[in-house]
Amino acid sequence: MSGITTGYDIVTWDMETNEYTLLVNEPYDQGLPDADGHIVTYLDSQAAGGGWFGSYHSEVKIIDRDTLEKRVVLPLDTYYGLGIWDHYLAVNNVGMWGDSIVVCDLEIMDLVDSEGHVIPEGSGADAGADGGK
């Protein structure tokens, strides 16, 4: 592989072929990934302008493994412990309400369709109550 940043990137591994593929390669850190179906969820510290370790500031993002479409699920804040199952995402947030677990229904938020694919931002299909954000 080439083009790997000095931060943390997300790489997929095909256990049958033993091949690795760079999935997310952007400035700063992308880490704590979890996957279910077509979706990989991860923390991305790019919006914070620095690495994740030390400040723990990041956005919560999803990427579609098939289309590589990315969306921001939760804005810049302090996050840990990320998990996804089907179209539900949970993350530990140390924010304005203290230490809490935030659970998101990505389908209700119009971030994924009923087949579990990430809906492109601005596609018209993502105009839910939150404006697709």
- Residue 128 in any domain: the answer is no
Does residue 111 form part of some domain? no
Q: What pTM does this model have? A: 0.85
58 domain-assigned = yes
> How many structural domains are present in the chain?
1
Domain span holding position 39: 10-105
**Residue 73 is assigned to a structural domain of this protein:** yes
The closest of 34, 126, 27 to 79, measured between CA atoms, is 34
Task: Give me the tens of pLDDT residue by residue for the chain, a chain 133 residues long.
Answer: 455 567 889 998 889 999 998 999 888 999 999 999 999 999 999 999 998 888 889 999 999 999 999 999 999 999 999 999 999 999 999 987 789 999 999 999 999 999 999 999 988 765 554 444 4
The pLDDT tens digits for 58-86 are: 999 999 999 999 999 999 999 999 999 99
Token digits of residue 7: 């931060």
Q: Is residue 89, in this structure, part of any structural domain at all?
A: yes
42 within domain boundaries: yes
Q: Could you tell me which residues come within 8 angstroms of residue 108 by beta carbon, excluding any fewer than 6 positions away?
A: 128
Cα torsion for 34, 40, 46, 99, to the nearest 10°? -40
